[in-house]
Structures are given as C-alpha cells and as structure tokens.
Copies of this chain bind each other. A is one copy, B any other.
Amino acid sequence: MSEIFQNIPFVQYEGTESDNPFAFKHYDAKRVIMGKSMAEHLRMAACYWHNFCWSGSDVFGANTFDRPWNKPSNPLEAAKLKADAAFEFFSKLGIGYYSFHDVDVSPEGSSLKEYIRNFSEMVEVLQAKQETTGLKLLWGTANAFSHPRYMSGAASNPNPDIFTYAATQVFHAMNATHALKGENYVLWGGREGYETLLNTDLKRERAQLGRFMQMVVEHKHKIGFAGSLLIEPKPAEPTKHQYDYDTATVYGFLKEFGLEKEIKVNIEANHATLAGHSFHHEIATACSLGILGSVDANQGDAQLGWDTDQFPTSVEEYTLVTYEILKAGGFKTGGYMFDTKLRRQSTDLEDMFHAHIGAMDTLALSLQRAVKMIEGETLSKLVEQRYAKWNDTLGSDILSGKLSLQDLANYAVEHDLDPKPVSGRQEMLENMVNGYIYP
C-alpha cells in the first residue's frame, strides 16, 4: 500500500497563532471541557461516499475529479485501493469515526450472491483497517436508491420483489454494521416518496414503510445490535415529496407504527433548511420529543433549492445547535457526521483536507462557545423565569388535568382576568448569545 495523499502531513492542533493550513486552529481532540474531551463531545465522522465515490459530476457536467483509487478496472481491487485511500485520509485527518453505505465500500456485482460475497470480503478489509488505525464506525447504511430497480422507491415500491431486494441489502448492511461495532444504523428515505400523486397510493405505501421499519427493529433485537436505529428526514430530492419530510413528520410516523421508543432521527442541516425549518429548529424539536440521535453536519446555500452538502463554516449557527444538544445531555451513540462534499471546482486532493479541517475547527469552536453558554446559565434561567407562573396553583392544575374548560371560564370571570403581556426580550437575548460567540 503506497501513500496516496503524499505531501500531506498528519493534521495536528497548533492553535490560532498558526498559519499552517494543514493544522487545526481550534480542534484540540484531547482537551477536556465540561467533563469530556472535545473528541468525545463532538464524535466527528467523515463519510465514504462524497469523499471516495463521487467524482465531481453534476446534472450539467461530467466528472472533474481524477482520483487514483478509481483507476483499477477490477471492482474488488478498486474497492480495496479505495479503502486504503479512505483510511489514510481518515487517519491523517485525525477524525475518530467514519460512515458508509454498503455499495460505497463494496462492489454490487452482477447478482445478489456476488453482492453478498463482495460485501463479506470488504467487511473483513474494513475490520482490519479499523484495528490498524483505531478508526471507529459511527454508522452504516444501505444504498437502496441509486440502482434503477429503486427508481420508484424501495420499501414503498409498488413491487414487493423490490421491497424484498431492499430488505436483503438492509439485512446485510445491519449485520456488517454490527460486525464492525458500528454505533448506529441509519435509514435515509432515498426514494421513499412520490413523483406524482396520480400514480401513488399514499396509505398503502405508508403501510409498507411501517412494516419495513418494524422488521428492522425486530432484526436489531434479534442480532443484539446495541446501537441506535435512525431515520434521516428530508423533504424532497430525489423524489418530489419524501415521506420522511422532517422531524415532526417522522415522529408521527413512528407513533403510527409504535416505533417511537425504537427509532430516533439523524438530522441533516441542509435537509432541515430544505424543509423550510432552521437547522436549530429541527435539533430543538428532536430534543424536545426525545428522539435526537445523530447529526449530519453540513451547511446548505440559503439561495439554492437543492441539497448542496457544503462543509459547515458558521460558528454562529453551530454554537446554537451544539448548545441545544448539550442541554439535552450531549450525544449518546450519535455524533457530528460530515455529510459534506467538495465544491465541484475544488479538484485537488488537498482540498479534501482544507474542507474537513475547516469544518472540524468550526465545530470545535462552536463547542467551546456553547459550553460557555451552558456554564453561564443566564440564558436557561431567563427561559425558566419566563414560564415560572406555570409552577403556581393555576398552572399546575391546568396541566395535571384537574380543570375543565368550564372551570377556567368560571375562574376567569370570577377573577376578572385581564392579563398583561410582558416583553419577550428577543434582541437582548440575541446580544447575550453574541456576547458568548464574540467574547
């Protein structure tokens, strides 16, 4: 195995004084802050697909990346060279985790049997790589959307054979994730959605999807997989409407099929904004429902209507998000996974490093700011005070179910209620937040 990223050193923390573009300015992996190392708080992962499978094409143009690991004509050989490249990259970057789809790491082959054989062989390769490098698997998943057979969905396909094909992939991808000690298994609803309502039976497709997820839960328990199962919401793209639209929609679906204790969400920043929400909103909603699992840490373009999967650069945004996650107790099995791709014009191998270093520093700095917000306590106390009257008799009696609508109507007249609103103090709170971000 020869070195692929030849002129690039192992990336180290050098602090803000450094002007070395291949060093971290803020991410000091082992530095302990609020009881845990930065690495343990952030649990950052790099992805296989955008970094090692995508070659820089877009809808209007051909590949612009010319990667050495795509050269071998033998698929398994190429997969192994790709694994070499991937683990060299992950290691030099000093990131603790990685994530993959089945077909990112292993060639599909020309039959299911070949798919299974290839996958099994590549899992051994990955196992060996993990041992050598110390890398860990944040999550695995199956790609049930790229092959033409999935053009009309996988679990929600009008053809049960295709449902079965997808189930087979998920079965093997779950087993692989388990074997590789993955800490989560993710289900992104690739093409589970519709292109036109004219040929779609929503109720039937939802039932198919519900049963699929129940099978996944049952299988998890059967094999004793200790990680979390996660659904990743997205509102559209590739389909016109995706069933896992956003966190609130997924929650309703989980409740409908009795899965709300079994499955959590993997929230992607850019999917949140495509759904018309702030990223902060999606995280806060998931936390308030108790279903936050993991985060696909990226950034969209506020002017574009598709998933741009950019590397996160906004400390202003990630501080608020990290604050929310810390308030909810921090990541358990999840982490910040970079579902991010280079701009198509960033064609050099070293751009992969610039991009990830910038992203990791953005999260590290956001973590530091968010910890100060937690430790400062001012923000959370102001929120508590705002609702303080709900701890008094009237408030408690309302929430406990003691009082009826009529009781309240009587109470209001008896007390001749005329409550006055009080300032919400939004601008003052925003100043406080900026005080933490720009100390």
Shortest Cβ distance from residue A378 to the other chain B in the assembled complex, whole angstroms: 10
Is the beta-carbon distance between B398 and A347 smaller than 8 angstroms?
A: no
Find out whether the CB atom of B288 lies under 8 angstroms from the CB atom of A273. Answer: no
What's the minimum C-beta distance from A405 to chain B, rounded to whole angstroms? 4
Not counting A158-B386, A235-B276, a sample of 11 additional A-B residue pairs whose C-beta atoms are within 8 angstroms of each other reads: A62-B146, A159-B421, A197-B284, A198-B433, A199-B424, A201-B383, A208-B390, A218-B405, A237-B304, A246-B249, A276-B276
**A145-B412 Cα distance, complex, nearest whole Å:** 18
Q: Please tell me if A406 contacts chain B, counting CB pairs below 8 Å.
A: yes
Which of chain B's residues have a CB closer than 8 A to the CB of A430?
196, 198, 311, 313, 358
Interchain CA distance A215-B400 in the complex, whole Å: 12
Are B219 and A404 in contact, with the CB atoms below 8 A? yes
- Mask, A394-429, CB within 8 Å of B = 1, is 110011010111101101110011111111111111
Q: Is A76 part of the binding interface, using a Cβ–Cβ cutoff of 8 Å?
A: no
- Complex Cα distance, B328 from A29, in Å, reads 41
A361 contacts B by Cβ under 8 Å: yes
CA distance A381 to B165 in the complex (A): 26
Chain A to chain B contacts (Cβ below 8 Å), 30 pairs: A16-B438, A112-B416, A112-B417, A159-B389, A160-B394, A162-B419, A165-B419, A171-B406, A171-B409, A196-B429, A198-B433, A202-B284, A202-B288, A204-B390, A215-B404, A219-B404, A236-B303, A246-B249, A248-B249, A277-B303, A311-B427, A313-B433, A313-B434, A316-B316, A346-B427, A347-B421, A347-B422, A358-B427, A358-B430, A362-B434
A249 CB contact (under 8 Å) in B207, B252, B392, B434: B252
| Chain B residues with CB below 8 A from A357, complex form | 431
Per-position 1/0 for A337-354, Cβ under 8 A of B = 000001111111001001
The segment out of A38-46, A53-61, A122-130 that lies at the interface is A53-61
Interface string of A152-183 (1 = CB under 8 A from B): 10000011111111011011101000000000
Q: Which residues of B contact A163 (CB under 8 A)?
A: 398, 408
Given contacts A211-B401, A379-B198, A434-B313, contact A61 B171 (CB under 8 A): no
B216 touches A405 (CB 8 A): yes
Closest B residue, CB atoms, query A357: B431
Interface string of A116-160 (1 = CB under 8 A from B): 100000000000000000000000000001111111100000111
Given the contacts A148-B421, A431-B357, A59 and B59 also touching, CB distance less than 8 Å: yes
**Copies of the protein in its oligomer:** 4
Task: Find out whether the CB atom of B275 lies under 8 angstroms from the CB atom of A276.
Answer: yes
User: Is the Cβ of B345 less than 8 Å from the Cβ of A152?
Assistant: yes
Instruction: List chain B residues, Cβ under 8 A from A409.
Output: 167-168, 171-172
Chain B residues contacting A275 (CB-CB under 8 Å) are 276
A59 with B311, Cβ < 8 A, contacts A387-B158, A423-B345, A424-B195 known = no
Find out whether the CB atom of A215 lies under 8 angstroms from the CB atom of B405.
yes
Residue of B nearest to A273 (CB): B302
Partner of A60, one of B145, B164, B276: B145
| A51 interface contact, C-beta 8 A | no
| B284 and A303 contacting across the interface, CB-CB below 8 Å | no
Closest Cβ of chain B to A266, distance in Å, is 17
Residues 21-74 of A contacting B (Cβ, < 8 Å): 21, 25-26, 56, 58-64
Contact of A248 among B248, B311, B383, B426 (CB under 8 A): B248
Contact of A7 with B by CB under 8 A = no
In angstroms, Cα B434 to Cα A21, docked, is: 12
How many angstroms between the C-alpha atoms of A417 and B429 in the bound complex? 49
Contact (A423, B113) CB under 8 Å given A316-B314, A430-B358: no
